[in-house]
Homo-oligomer: A and B are copies of this chain.
Amino acid sequence: MSVPVPSPDLSPFLAACARRQLDDRVPVWFMRQAGRSLPEYKRVRVGISMLDSCARPDLVTEITLQPVRRYGVDAAIFYSDIMVPLKAAGVDLDIVPGTGPVIAEPIRTASDLDRVRPLSADQIPYVTEAVRRLVAELGETPLIGFAGAPFTLASYLVEGGPSKDYARTKALMVSRPDVWHDLCGRLAQISATFLVAQVEAGAGAVQLFDSWVGSLSAADYATFVQPHSASVLEAVGRLGVPRIHFGVGTGELLRPMAAAGADVVGVDWRIPLDEADRRLGHRYALQGNLDPALLGAPWPVVAERTRAVIAAGAAAPGHVFNLGHGVPPDTDPAVLQRVVDLVHEEGSDIRRAARV
């Protein structure tokens, strides 16, 4: 079967990632566009747990496509959860509605490490299958592969679930660097395998989510995190697809996160994109960065902020419009639709004007 492969010449998203953005289109997609805020998603999820939904190619395909159909965004993001590859590798965990991931036996000592075993592609046939179906359906719209980064995965495994301060994670990191690096090496293998499987099945780009890494200083990031994220991004880089690297509150970490092997750096809303571009030496494409907390504001405010993001993003050699973090569960899809339409209708004019 011959599958149409999206190319930078045809995909505004891939062109922006490649720092070859044309001024006729600002591409846009939203983190968490597939899932929790869409009524059609809630309908197909009735009676099916999160982890079960991620293991069913028919559902993954449907849920991934829903926002593409609805909004006309420039990329699809593979519907999954950062815990899926850990579950597939045999870690005993669940995703509890209203709480998040819950790890049956947290990983805190050297002897716990045996419970984090390598992932092989044949343990995730439903991922390969779903990606194949998706690229056939998506045609010229690229599919972005999805995985959590070693630090963020480790934080769940060590804490046993979501955390406010990552105290156990940080304590392990600094007090047993040998255990920490062993753990993150294992997680890097798992993340890399999960992403490579998606790319080999046809994903045209990847995003590595290190959502909680902004809780670290730059020095600790460089010592304890960057090498492991770099090994994930390197494994994917060999396949030639663009790599997006994202975290929240990472103003101090943009350079080392870029240097870990990113083509596109995701930026949250705390820093304007032109400032992020300065910090990165005008060498990377940027993704972001409308504050998702503002989506509940009246439309004229959302529109003004959307325009400001596009204008600031014009400083960078490539700009993929996105939120600064995931779509909040209570977001009105009609607002996201208006954002997409504004970006598509006004984006190129705003970019041109901002660069005069």
List residues of chain A with CB under 8 Å of any chain B CB.
165-168, 170-171, 174-175, 214-219, 249, 251-252, 269-272, 291-298, 301, 305, 325, 328
Residues of B near A296 (CB, < 8 A) are 167-168, 171
**A293 with B171: in contact, given A269-B217, A270-B217, A271-B217 (CB under 8 Å)?**
yes
Residues of B near A219 (CB, < 8 A) are 272
Query: Do the beta carbons of A293 and B170 come within 8 Å of each other?
Result: yes
Query: Do the beta carbons of A328 and B294 come within 8 Å of each other?
Result: no
Q: How long is the Cα–Cα vector from A197 to B217 in the complex, in angstroms?
A: 38
Q: How long is the Cα–Cα vector from A175 to B303 in the complex, in angstroms?
A: 12
CB distance from A13 to the nearest CB of B (A): 25
**A270 with B293: in contact, given A174-B301, A175-B298, A328-B165 (CB under 8 Å)?**
no
Tallying the copies of this chain within the complex gives: 2
A-B contact list, 18 entries, CB within 8 Å: A165-B292, A167-B293, A167-B294, A167-B328, A170-B291, A170-B293, A170-B297, A171-B297, A175-B297, A175-B301, A214-B249, A215-B270, A217-B269, A217-B270, A217-B271, A217-B291, A219-B272, A249-B249
CB distance from A163 to the nearest CB of B (A): 9
Residues of B near A328 (CB, < 8 A) are 165, 167
Q: How long is the Cα–Cα vector from A296 to B173 in the complex, in angstroms?
A: 11
Residues of B near A295 (CB, < 8 A) are 167
Q: How long is the Cα–Cα vector from A296 to B266 in the complex, in angstroms?
A: 32
Q: How long is the Cα–Cα vector from A213 to B84 in the complex, in angstroms?
A: 34
CB distance from A310 to the nearest CB of B (A): 16
The list of the 4 closest CB pairs from A to B, nearest first, reads A167-B293, A171-B297, A171-B296, A170-B293
CB distance from A315 to the nearest CB of B (A): 15
Query: Do the beta carbons of B174 and A270 come within 8 Å of each other?
Result: no
In chain B, what residue has the closest Cβ to A268?
B217
CB distance from A262 to the nearest CB of B (A): 20
CB distance from A256 to the nearest CB of B (A): 13
Residues of B near A214 (CB, < 8 A) are 249, 270
In chain B, what residue has the closest Cβ to A269?
B217
Query: Do the beta carbons of A165 and B301 come within 8 Å of each other?
Result: no
Q: How long is the Cα–Cα vector from A174 to B87 in the complex, in angstroms?
A: 42
CB distance from A307 to the nearest CB of B (A): 14
- Determine which residue in A216, A296, A298 has the highest number of CB atoms from chain B within 10 A of its CB, and name it: A296
Residues of B near A301 (CB, < 8 A) are 174-175
Q: How long is the Cα–Cα vector from A252 to B301 in the complex, in angstroms?
A: 23
Query: Do the beta carbons of B171 and A270 come within 8 Å of each other?
Result: no
Query: Do the beta carbons of B251 and A293 come within 8 Å of each other?
Result: no
Residues of B near A170 (CB, < 8 A) are 291, 293-294, 297
CB distance from A329 to the nearest CB of B (A): 11
CB distance from A224 to the nearest CB of B (A): 12
Q: How long is the Cα–Cα vector from A217 to B292 in the complex, in angstroms?
A: 13
In chain B, what residue has the closest Cβ to A249?
B249
CB distance from A269 to the nearest CB of B (A): 6
Residues of B near A217 (CB, < 8 A) are 269-272, 291
Residues of B near A305 (CB, < 8 A) are 174
CB distance from A14 to the nearest CB of B (A): 29
Query: Do the beta carbons of A294 and B216 come within 8 Å of each other?
Result: no
Q: How long is the Cα–Cα vector from A217 to B165 in the complex, in angstroms?
A: 22
Residues of B near A167 (CB, < 8 A) are 292-296, 328
